[in-house]
A and B are shown apart, each in its own frame.
Chain A
Amino acid sequence: MAIFRPEEEAKVRELLDALERPVELVVAHGPEETPLPGARDIDFGAETEKIVEGLAALSENVSYRVEDRPPGIALFPAVLVLPEGKDRGIRYHGLPWGYELASLIGAVVEAGKRESSLSAESVERLGALERELAIDVFVTPT
């Protein structure tokens, strides 16, 4: 199944060409699917894996593997985005389709940068943080 239309694929490939370091994606399927009402025909985990596989096919710097239940993950399916194979707490929970595919691609692009694209002031403020900060952003695909 093609994930992108040809013109989209060219654009995504261009974005991924800018990666300065390898990014590994981990697809976590989790335990047995709990079907959503009205969505029983969709295997969210399998669809997520197809999307991630499609992204990895577009760049030598993007790889992926599948893990059933990585430690600390409670919502499935999930995609973990690991810059240079290191877990920096970057996740996407659910099927990254529609508008939200851009979020996953954005995560990969940012993870592939050696320098933060935040302002120096922001980086400094985050560097001074003395507590753990878990930011959850609830999104919808449309």
Chain B
Amino acid sequence: MLLAYKAALASPRVSASAIESTEFPALADSMDVWAVPRIVVNGVPQWDGAVPERVFLDRVLAPAFE
């Protein structure tokens, strides 16, 4: 979660939200959340679990550069 927040602080184009799955079950279901943390970028589920900073950047930036 912290990496997402750090990314948002580093760029005005990035926003980062934590979403408490159990309080928003319909939304969590729609994102196929069954393990956390589940990372969703621009509304598209990407991956589960914590990753190192470089991997996090590689993954979140990839769709943006398509």
Contact = CB atoms under 8 A, between A and B. Distances in A.
Interface residues of B, number: 43
A136 B39 contact: yes
Given A117-B6, A139-B19, A127 B37 contact: no
B44 to A, nearest CB: 10
A136 B2 contact: no
Nearest to A83: B9
B16 A116 contact: no
Interface residues on A, range: 35 or more
A107 to B, nearest CB: 5
Nearest to A91: B17
Nearest to B4: A135
Contact of B2 (A36, A88, A106, A123): A106
Contacts of A116: 6, 9-10
A129 interface: yes
Interface string A99-142: 01001101100110100111101110111011111111111110
Contacts of B38: 137-138
B21 A138 contact: yes
B9 A135 contact: no
A133 B3 CA distance: 14
A81 B19 CA distance: 14
Contacts of B41: 133-136
A96 B61 CA distance: 27
Nearest to B64: A131
Nearest to A78: B17
Given A135-B41, A136-B39, A110 B20 contact: no
B5 to A, nearest CB: 5
**Top 6 closest pairs, chain A to chain B, by CB:** A94-B20, A89-B15, A126-B11, A94-B23, A136-B40, A138-B38
B4 A137 contact: yes
A117 to B, nearest CB: 6
B10 A122 contact: yes
